[in-house]
Chains A and B, each alone.
Chain A
C-alpha cells in the first residue's frame, strides 16, 4: 500500500526526514512513534502529498505521490494534527463539503454521512455549529471527515490528542474496527496507545527511522533477557540469597514491598522461565507467593533504549 524509499525532507537548513525507507502492506495498522519534533507530522504530510519530498520516492497504492497527487488523495482519508474544521459551519454542512470535495456519488452522500457520524458518535450533533463544540467533539468531526469516503488508507496524526479517557478508549476501538478493511497509519507519542492498537511500529527519532518491527520482535531484540517480578511473604535477606542461587539468574534487585513481605525484580537468561523454579522454592520454604509475573518490556523502556534516554532535542 505504501512504499517509501530514501525519503528526505529538508526545510531550509533543518533536515526533518533523512533516509527514510519502509513499506506498509494492505491491512496493517502501523504506528509512527517518536518524541515531539521527531518528524512524524512531516512524514504524514509527505505521505498525503501535502509536502513534496526533497529527495526519494513515495508511492501510495501504486501511485507516485508527486506525479499522481490526485489519484493518491482519492485513496487517503487524513486527519491532520490540527483538526481541519470550519468553526462557522454546522457538522452536517462540513461533512457535506468534505463529501463534495471527494466527489462521492450524490446518491451515497446521506448514507455515508450517517455511517461516518454513527461511527464517530456524533449522530446527534449534526445540526450544531462546529465552533461551539468541545475539543473532543471537533476531533471526532475531523475523524468523521477522514472516514467519510471509506478510504483504503487512513492516516491519523495523533488521533486521540485532547480527548478524555473514555473517548480515547472509544476512538481506539473504532480505529481497530476500521482497520479490519483498510490500512491505517497513526502517529502518537503515547506509547501505550501504539502498543494497544498497532500491528507494527515505526520508531522515528530526529528524522530517522531507528526501528521498524512488531512490538514483540522489537522487545526480543532489545531486551536480551527475561524479566520476572515476584513478591513473597518471607524474610528479605534469606529470600534474596535463595533466589540468587537458582540456575540462570543474572541479577536480582529488591523492590519496594509491604512490611513482612519481600519483592524482587529478577533478570534471567533468555528463554528460561524462572517462575517454575521460584514457585518450587517458595513451596519448599513455605513462603506464600503473593505475586509472580513475567514482566514485558514496555514501549517506554524500548523507546528510551532506542533513542537514548533524555536525548530529546530541545
Chain B
C-alpha cells in the first residue's frame, strides 16, 4: 500500500512540476469554456448534456497526453531500471501509476466545476444529470487513463504512446458503428462495447450499474494488460 502511494505521489510531483500538464490543461479548459459559452449561451437551457458530449470527444485526444509519460518516459530515462530492481510488484507499480493519472485527470475535470456553479447561480438546473454527467466523465476518463497507460507501456516513445492511446480510445468510442454491418450476437456485443453509448446514458442523467461496471471493467482490463506487457517486455 505504501509503495502504491509512493508511486502515485511521485507521479503527481513529476506531473505538476513539468509544463506539459499545464499546457494540456490550459488548452482543454479554453476549449471546454468555448463549448460551455456557445452551447449554453445559444440554447439558454440550464443543463450540460451537450457540453459533456463535447468534453468527452476532446478527452479522446487529451487522455493519452496525460498518460503518455507513465512508462515511456521511465524507459527512456532509465528510471524503469530503478523501479524494476526495487521490491515493488508490477501490480503495485501499475496501480500507483493509474492512481496518479486518474488524480491528474481529476484535477483537470475539477477545474470545470465553474460550469455547474454558473448554472446553479443563474438558472435552476436539474442536479441529477449534472452529477451523473460528471460521474460519467470521471469513469470514462479513468478507462481512458488505463488504456493510455497500456499504450505507454508498449513503447519508450511518448509520441507513439499518444498515438496508440488515442487509437484505442477512439476505437472504444466508435466501435458500435460496426454493429449494424456485423449484425447478430457479435453486433450486439460491439454495441455493448461502445463507451460512447454508455457515456450517453450518464450525460442524459441515467445511472445504470451496468455502465459503471463497464467502465471499471475496461479500466481493470487495461491495467491487467499493462502488467502483462511490462512483464512480457522484460524477456
Partner-B contacts on A (CB < 8 A): 45, 48-52, 70, 73-74, 76, 78, 80-89, 93, 97-98, 100-103, 129, 145
Contact B10 A83 (CB under 8 A): no
Interface residue tally on B, bucketed by range: 20 to 34
Min Cβ gap A77→B in Å is 9
Q: Point out residues on B near A: beta carbons under 8 Å.
A: 2-3, 5-7, 9-10, 13-14, 17-18, 77-89, 234-235
Chain B proximity of A262: nearest CB distance (Å):
55
Given the interface pairs A97-B6, A97-B9, A103-B2, the reply to whether A84 lies near B81 with Cβ below 8 Å is yes
Are the CB atoms of B77 and A84 closer together than 8 Å?
yes
Bound state CA distance, A248 and B90, in angstroms?
66
Return chain B residues, CB-CB under 8 Å to A100: 2-3, 5-6, 9
Is B17 within 8 A of A88, CB to CB? yes
- A285 and B95 CA atoms in complex are apart in Å by 84
Instruction: Please tell me if the beta carbons of A89 and B10 are within 8 angstroms of each other in the complex.
Output: yes
In the bound complex, do residue B13 and residue A84 qualify as a contact, i.e. CB atoms below 8 Å apart?
no
Q: Which residues of B contact A70 (CB under 8 A)?
A: 87, 89
Contacting pair A80 B87 (CB below 8 A): no
Contacts of B82 in A (CB 8 A): 78, 80, 84, 98, 101, 145
Question: What residues of A have a CB within 8 angstroms of the CB of B13 in the complex?
Answer: 88-89, 93
Find out whether the CB atom of B14 lies under 8 angstroms from the CB atom of A86: yes
Shortest distance between the CB of A61 and any CB in chain B (Å): 13
B200 to chain A, nearest CB (A): 39
The list of the 5 closest CB pairs from A to B, nearest first, reads: A100-B6, A82-B78, A84-B82, A88-B17, A101-B86
Q: CB < 8 Å: which of B18, B86, B89 contacts A88?
A: B18
Q: List 12 A-B contacts (CB under 8 A).
A: A50-B85, A52-B235, A82-B78, A82-B81, A83-B78, A87-B77, A88-B17, A97-B6, A97-B10, A100-B3, A100-B5, A101-B87
Task: Determine if B85 and A48 form an interchain contact, defined as CB atoms under 8 angstroms apart.
Answer: yes
